[in-house]
A and B are shown apart, each in its own frame.
Chain A
Amino acid sequence: MRARVTKGSRPRSGVWRSGPALIGGVLVLLMAVLAVAGPIIWGEAAERIDAGAILQGTSAAHPLGTDNLGRDLLARVLVAGRYSLALALAATLIGAVGGILLGALPSVLPRRAARLVTGAVNALVAFPGLLLAMFTAVVAGLGARGAVLGIGVAIAPGFARLTQTLAASVAGADYVAAARMLGVPRRRVLARHILPNIAEPLILNLAQSLGGALLGLAGMSFLGLGVQPPDFDWGRLLFDGFTRIYVTPEVVLGPAAAVALAGIGFNLLGDTLARAAARSSAGQRDTARPAPPEPAVEPDPEAVLEVRDLTVSFPGGSTPVRELSLSVAPGEIVGLVGESGSGKSLTAAAVGGLVPYPGAVTYGRLRLGGADVAAMSGKELGTALAMVFQDPMASLNPALKVGGQLAEVAIVHQGASRADARRRAVDRLGHVRLPDPAKHAAQHPHELSGGMRQRAVIAMGLMGTPRLIIADEPTTALDVTVQRQILRLLREVVAETGAALLFISHDIAVVGELCDRVVVMYAGRVVEELPADRLADGAAHPYTRALIASLPDLDTDRARPLAGIPGTQPSPAQVGAGCAFAGRCALATERCHTERPELVDHGPRQRVACWEVTS
């Protein structure tokens, strides 16, 4: 839920610089120019009948030869562009409009009629497109009109199916349910909610269909079902030249190349559009780790995890984690708490080398179990670090059995045999108190409840011998009763294995209950560190105190309004020079807005970054 912020998506312009995109763009542009200018420039040459040059091959005057009336074929190919493209456009529009209407109908019709339409579309999709096109063309009569209708009809079922699928997903959205409850008529729901939200993929499909329609029409003309003389398009020129292919093959070269180039152009353009629209954060591992100067402080040999001056930034000036330092001792449970957007999840991702592209990670020191993370192999990191995420379903492959997925960890990381790995998987599942582990190991993830799945993910982390377990909101998707069980399990695992736990949560009550020490983050920085048992009455930073005050518990006075924190956390791109919390803080003075307080000691085992508290 909380991780929905798309942390940095690749700029769309990048897509357009790839080779295929460039070729597609140039080809489509050329075709457009040809369609506009072709008939104007070569129109006369294409119609000029020359009785002295009938059925010639390549010559200086006629590079692609002439036809049976002595007309220049190169000129005819160039002129035919406009007609061919116009017909393709018409066919695509007929197919798209018809298909979208057909696909959208089920969302406005009563249930019975909707089923009927859906069934009809399914039947049409199963029909071969060319057959559908030829059938329609024959029924509608020979000629350009029949061919365009035919290709349009062939394109329509695909559009209808796409529209239907997309519309069905939007129709299930909460805002459509809300509109229905407000009594908005179905027609309006379709026009205002459904169509605008599915327009993008439909437009992409349009570009790709254009290429298909062009090829289809050329095919129809080639079969003699399309354009009839004296009109001509590329397909017709191909048809006319085909009988001479053994004598003067060059006469079919022109129309064939034109059809191929235009088809390739539109398909490449459609692909590019689709990729530009779909491109979100690609989960590439960031290998570049430019390190700032090594800090003067000596490494702490005791710490399981030691982070110094960790910064995560994204292009465009967004810096969600800023010079963060953190250390975790063996067997210690440290809670990392903050609102969504405070950078806590990215901190965890940076430790595991999982920051999504194009995020840049820099640090002064990042050591796990006494070794530099940058020098560790993927295998070493994989066994020393276990990560548990919010959604256990996303961490497990739904197609594989639970036991097999766990066993894979041991096979890959420890080189265990299949039988040994399986035995260990069942043992680990029992270790996380999964009842009847052998049975559950043979099941698929969907057969387990949410709590059981989270146990399985924790067991997967325990397949190695982790020095550190990072749990990122592991109980947020679970019920309070299951949450309690998972918290107890995590505590037991830490006690038994001696591993340390970095527990990330937005819920300060959960953190306070589970952890030994709490680290509070705000706008990418640590604002306070304190022992968990001091949270209730020893918290010093105004932000920590406000977080605690805004949490209703079972003793909250119902007669009084709940405390909240006015305003919002500054976005990672807009953190100013002073204290990031100053804008929402009741204690803030002039100094807080201009000068950033450092994290300094404040009593035993407590550190806080606040001018008003420490000075």
Chain B
Amino acid sequence: MRIEGLTVRYGGFTAVDDVTLEIPDGHVVGLVGESGSGKSSLARAVSGLVSYTGRIDGAQRVQMVFQDPYASLDPRMTIGETVGEGIVKRRRATEVPRLLGLVHLPAELADRYPRELSGGQRQRVAIARALGGDPALLVADEITGSLDVSVQGAVLNLVRGLRDELGLSMLFISHNLAVVRYVADTIAVMHHGRIVEHGPAEQVVEEPAHDYTRALLAAVPRLRG
């Protein structure tokens, strides 16, 4: 999948400015940047949720997982109905348990409602729903941003496992460089609507080429001692 010369404008404001980015098959591309840098607009353009100019090749079957697992599940639908939403009716009965299994949730959860689930479980349901659309690319927009640290680890492990097992391509967006470094093969750094640096994850973290990347790295909180 390849993005070329992508620009997103809201009225007079340019959120994404002439971005070119390649996401090879089976790769996880991490996208970092502060809020307002345009990373969410880029994600929504790739997902077909906002209009854009430029070219996006190979963007069939893009699915997205959102930041807030409390807002991204319909409170009036059971987990089974939510996960089965993108699946044809006759295959739903077999597919829903399989998808729940993929995200390490017990099949019994299918009859429950979102309010009965924890934040981490909800985010797994959102991932299962996206996988139900058989995505060629999964866009993950700050999916651990509203989770507790103890749950974040498990969700990140799941994301890596899905890439290894299913060969899933992914655009993984976060403002936390440590999180992105852990799951991504390459990291793209976005600043004021442009991609200022893109390279292998280790290289971007260890030998940042752009000043803004260095500023981001310096800001990551660390334990002393």
Q: Which residue numbers of A lie inside 8 Å of B, CB to CB?
A: 1-2, 4, 173-175, 177-184, 192-193, 196-197, 339-340, 450, 479-484, 487, 506-510, 512-513, 532-538, 546-548, 550-554, 556, 558, 561-565, 568
Contacts and interface: CB of A to CB of B under 8 A. Distances in A.
Contacts of A479: 34-35, 175
A258 B81 CA distance: 48
Contact of A184 (B72, B85, B175): B85
B148 A174 contact: no
A482 B81 CA distance: 40
- Which 6 residue pairs of A and B lie closest in terms of their CB atoms, listed nearest first? A182-B86, A536-B225, A562-B153, A174-B72, A564-B153, A479-B34
Contact of A536 (B35, B86, B224): B224
A441 B107 CA distance: 56
A480 B219 contact: yes
B77 interface: yes
Contacts of B18: none
A193 B81 CA distance: 11
Nearest to B217: A554
Given A182-B129, A536-B223, A4 B70 contact: yes
B140 interface: no
Contacts of B82: 175
Interface stretch (B5-13, B19-27, B60-68, B95-103): B60-68
A195 B222 CA distance: 47
B178 A535 contact: no
Contact of A480 (B132, B201, B220): B220
B215 to A, nearest CB: 6
Interface string B99-126: 0000000000000000000111000001
Contacts of B76: 193, 196-197
Contact of A513 (B129, B179, B215, B224): B224
Nearest to B76: A196
B53 interface: no
26 contacts: A174-B72, A175-B73, A175-B74, A177-B64, A181-B48, A181-B133, A182-B63, A182-B85, A193-B77, A196-B76, A339-B148, A339-B150, A480-B175, A480-B176, A480-B219, A483-B221, A487-B221, A512-B222, A513-B224, A532-B224, A550-B149, A553-B223, A554-B217, A556-B182, A561-B160, A564-B151
A210 B215 CA distance: 62
Contacts of B45: none
A173 B49 CA distance: 12
Contacts of B74: 173, 175, 192-193, 196-197
B166 interface: no
A312 B154 CA distance: 31
B156 interface: yes
Contacts of A183: 86, 133
A179 B225 CA distance: 47
B130 interface: yes
A196 B181 CA distance: 41
Given A183-B86, A513-B222, A178 B66 contact: yes
A553 B220 CA distance: 8
B146 interface: yes
B157 interface: yes
Contact of A340 (B148, B216, B219, B221): B148
Contacts of A548: 223
B219 A484 contact: yes
Contacts of B151: 564-565
Contacts of A480: 34, 175-177, 216, 219-221
Contacts of B62: 181
Contacts of B175: 479-480
Contacts of B179: 552
B205 interface: yes
Nearest to A480: B219
A456 B33 CA distance: 24
B224 to A, nearest CB: 5
Given A181-B63, A182-B63, A558 B182 contact: yes
A447 to B, nearest CB: 15
Contacts of B63: 178, 181-182
A535 B85 contact: no
B178 A564 contact: no
A182 B48 CA distance: 11
B110 to A, nearest CB: 16
Contact of B149 (A184, A450, A512, A547): A547
Contacts of A481: 34, 215-216, 219
Nearest to B224: A533
Contacts of A546: 150
A536 B223 CA distance: 6
Interface in B26-76: 34-35, 47-49, 62-64, 66, 68, 70-76
Given A197-B76, A508-B149, A552-B153, A178 B222 contact: no
A178 B73 CA distance: 9
Nearest to B215: A481
Given A480-B176, A481-B215, A537-B225, A551 B34 contact: no
B71 A175 contact: yes
Nearest to B33: A479
A89 B1 CA distance: 58
B52 to A, nearest CB: 16
Nearest to B152: A550
B59 to A, nearest CB: 11
A219 B147 CA distance: 57
Given A4-B70, A197-B76, A450 B35 contact: yes
Nearest to B202: A558
B219 A564 contact: no
A488 to B, nearest CB: 11
Given A480-B216, A551-B149, A564-B154, A181 B49 contact: yes
B220 A174 contact: no
A399 to B, nearest CB: 24
Contacts of B153: 550-552, 562-564
Given A507-B149, A554-B217, A564-B150, A178 B178 contact: no
A512 B176 CA distance: 17
Most buried by A among B35, B73, B133, B150: B150
Name, among A173, A182, A184, A533, the residue most crowded by chain B CB atoms within 10 Å (CB to CB): A182
Nearest to B218: A484
Contacts of A509: 221-223
Nearest to B130: A178
Interface in B132-171: 132-133, 145-146, 148-154, 156-157, 160
Contacts of A184: 85-86
Which of A177, A480, A512, A535 is the most central at the interface, judged by chain B CB atoms within 10 Å of its CB?
Answer: A480
Given A480-B175, A562-B153, A554 B205 contact: yes
Nearest to A556: B182
A550 B153 CA distance: 6
